[in-house]
Each structure stands twice: as C-alpha cells, then as structure tokens.
C-alpha cells in the first residue's frame, strides 16, 4: 500500500511539472519582435555572408533559449536571402535588443549587386521576413514559433 501511495505522489508531481511547463510554453507564444536591424555584414564568398543582426524582443514569459533560427528575407515577395542562426539565450520578463550572429546565403538568381542596389536605397520598404525559431526551456520542454511576413520597414533600427 505504501508503494502505491509513493507512485501516486510521484505521478502527481510529474503531472504538476508538466502542467507548469505547458503554461510556460503557452506564454512564450506571446513573444513579440520589437525591432530588427543589421549591425554588420561580412561577405565570406560570392554567395554567402556572415552577419550580426540586432533583434529586439519583448518577452513577457520566463527565461528560455532559442536553439535554432531559420528564415528568409524577401524584397517585394522575391526571395533574396536565406539565413540561419544558432543559440540565443533570452531573458525572462524583459524588453531587450540581442545581437544574433548568423550566416546568410543568397537565394537562386540573386546576386550581390542586387543586394547592394537595395542597400543603396537606405530603406527597408518592401522587405519582409519569414522566421521560424525553436524555443527550449530549462526543463527540456519546447516549441517552435513562426513569424510570417514580418514587415521589416515597420521596425525601428
């Protein structure tokens, strides 16, 4: 009988932990992107570059880690650049700008001259991004967040 009671208590503790982590994952979905910018770009070949992005996040939730970021930047619906980034620790209950090192590769039929022509305009009008990020909590629970058609011109630099 005592073993049954111990198993019952253990089951209740596991259920409570899962419920709490489920609530935390649900709150993470309230994450908002507040700003997007580019700190610098360094060409590594004729088709790729390393960059540091400035990413403003409003996180009303707990501390978590983004362990995989993938995205596409488009210019008037034409895919221009695909990018990937690694791990980014995000502070809980904060509004903060993070530096995010990433690697970018030009899309097919896009040249470096195309990007330079867009950059020369010094405007982000017409630029959008689709971003997917995998979020991981300390307890191992996680989720994937998607941000589609982010209008980059609407963000302050």
Residue 115 · residue 80 · CB < 8 Å: yes
Using the structure block, give the residue that is written with the tokens 């300390």. 138
pLDDT of residue 150: 87
State pTM to two decimals: 0.73
pLDDT of residue 91: 95
CA distance 146 to 75: 19
pLDDT of residue 23: 41
Q: pLDDT digits over 63-107, tens only?
A: 999 989 999 999 999 999 999 998 999 999 999 999 999 999 999
Can you give the length of the chain in residues? 157
Q: Among the residues of the chain, which ranges form H helices?
A: 2-28, 112-120
CA distance 99 to 92: 17
pLDDT of residue 25: 56
pLDDT of residue 75: 95
Q: pLDDT digits over 4-60, tens only?
A: 343 433 333 333 333 333 444 556 778 888 888 889 888 899 899 999 988 899 999
User: Is the pLDDT at 119 greater than 50, yes or no?
Assistant: yes
pLDDT of residue 73: 93
CA distance 29 to 68: 16
What the chain holds in terms of domains, given with CATH numbers, is 2-154 (2.60.40)
């Amino acid at each position: 009988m005592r073993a049954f009671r111990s198993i019952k208590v253990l089951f209740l503790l596991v259920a409570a932990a899962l419920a709490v982590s489920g609530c935390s994952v649900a709150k993470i979905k309230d994450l908002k992107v507040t700003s997007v910018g580019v700190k610098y770009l360094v060409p590594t070949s004729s088709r790729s570059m390393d960059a540091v992005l400035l990413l403003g996040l409003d996180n009303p939730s707990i501390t978590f880690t983004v362990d995989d970021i993938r995205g596409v930047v488009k210019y008037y619906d034409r895919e221009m650049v695909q990018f990937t980034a690694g791990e980014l620790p995000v502070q809980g209950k904060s509004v903060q700008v993070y530096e995010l090192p990433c690697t970018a590769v030009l899309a097919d039929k896009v040249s470096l001259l195309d990007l330079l022509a867009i950059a020369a305009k010094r405007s982000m009008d017409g630029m959008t991004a689709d971003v997917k990020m995998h979020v991981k909590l300390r307890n191992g629970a996680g989720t994937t967040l998607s941000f589609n058609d982010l209008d980059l011109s609407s963000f302050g630099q």
